[in-house]
Amino acid sequence: MSNKMNQFMGSSDYVVSDELMHAVNVAIALQKPLLIKGEPGTGKTMLAESISKALSKNLIIWNIKSTTKAQEGLYVYDTVQRLYDSQFGEGDVSDIKKYIKLGRLGESFTSEDQAVLLIDEIDKADLEFPNDLLWELDKMEFYINETKETVRTKHRPIVIITSNAEKELPDAFLRRCIFHYIEFPDASKMEEIVRVHYGDIEEKLLGQAMEAFYWIRDLKEIQKKPSTSELLDWLQALMISGISIDRIKSEIPFAGVLLKKNQDIDAMYEIKQKGYSLKRWL
């Protein structure tokens, strides 16, 4: 690759699959946003942090909420402040620039060095939200009406977008993105991930816990499957409690750490005991 500096190879505290690494590098090379989807707990958000760390670039996070408007990411014209200032005679009201506040997207455009911009959970926003950002993400520039200025990027930021698939994203938006779906890690990958977090974990404890964990994930009756972050919490609980290793698989101690719903815990124990569950829909 021409630009070795911008090659993402994963970082010490984030285990990345070859496919994902490849997708990140493609996105960087083609200067397109990278859209990441995947089950909760597969480290979508962590990815951006890891990229920024590995390439030592500044990370700018734009957290999307259901009320977020695309405009807010570009800039906000603080009219109320200007009105107040004019009433109380404070500051230079004729200088509109003072009342233009750049949003996270604007920040990443104007950053002196190339930044990593994380647009987190884009699907939380209104259906029209992604469409409103098409031009800005394509051309990486926007126009401020009030000051008649165009904000252009000095360095196109590396844009990482995560989605939980709550809403379908519009086709026009998808066309401009590089897409990657993070698969739930298989056992060997998971072991690698665990070792990054708990380097000194006991071999036997890990083996037993992993077996129990994947057994629970495979149960059809479970509504909310435990994910990586729950496994990590559970392992910590197991290590701290010093519970005997033989009991892990037979009793599933601290099931509440893995399963977050009463029904799921009940169903799991019922299956554990009887081998089946008759729970239907309560």
Partner 1 sequence: MFLSFFYLLRARGLNVSLNEWLALIEALDKGLCKASLLGFYHLCRSILVKSETDYDKFDLAFAEYFQGIVTPEDIPEEIWKWLSQDVKTRDINDRTMLDDFVLELEELQKRLRERIEEQKEKHDGGNYWIGTGGTSTMGYNGYHERGIRVGGEGRHKNAVQVAGERNFKDFRQDNILDIRQFQMAFRKLRQYSSRLDGAKTELDIDGTIDETCENAGSLRLVWERPRKNTVKLLLLFDSDGSMMPYSNLCSQLFQAVSKSNHFKDLKVYYFHNCIYEHLYTTPHCRRGEWINTEWVLSNLSSEYKVIFVGDASMAPSELMSKGGNCYVGLYNEIPGIDWLKRFKSKYPKHIWLNPIPEREWDYTYGYRTLQAIKELFPMYELTLDGLEAGIKKLLVSR
Q: How far is the CB of 171 from partner 1 (least distance, A)?
A: 7
The DSSP letter of residue 170 is: P
CA distances from 80 to 18, 77, 148, 257 (A): 50, 9, 20, 47
281 binds partner 1 (CB under 8 A): yes
Binds partner 1 by CB under 8 A, chosen from 223, 241, 244, 250: 223
How many angstroms from the chain centroid is the CA of residue 211?
Answer: 27
112 binds partner 1 (CB under 8 A): no
Binds partner 1 by CB under 8 A, chosen from 12, 18, 56, 199: 18
Residue placing its CB nearer to partner 1 in the complex, 60 or 116: 116
184 binds partner 1 (CB under 8 A): no
180 binds partner 1 (CB under 8 A): yes
272 binds partner 1 (CB under 8 A): no
69 binds partner 1 (CB under 8 A): no
Binds partner 1 by CB under 8 A, chosen from 13, 19, 146, 192: 19
Measured CA to CA, the distance from residue 177 to residue 11 in angstroms comes to 24
Tokens representing 138?
A: 């394509």
Tokens representing 24?
A: 């990140």
151 binds partner 1 (CB under 8 A): no
Residue among 108, 106, 83 at smallest CA distance from 96: 83
Q: How many CA atoms lie within 13 A of 166 on its CB side?
A: 15
Q: How far is the CB of 176 from partner 1 (least distance, A)?
A: 8
Binds partner 1 by CB under 8 A, chosen from 175, 195, 204, 247: 175
Q: How far is the CB of 253 from partner 1 (least distance, A)?
A: 27
197 three-class SS: helix
Report residue 93: phi and psi, to 5°: -70, -25
Question: CB-based burial of residue 176 (10 Å sphere; 0-12 exposed, 13-18 middle, 19+ buried)?
Answer: middle
Interface with partner 1 (CB under 8 A): 1-2, 18-19, 22-23, 25-27, 29-30, 32, 35, 37, 80, 83-84, 87, 165-167, 171, 174-181, 183, 223, 280-282
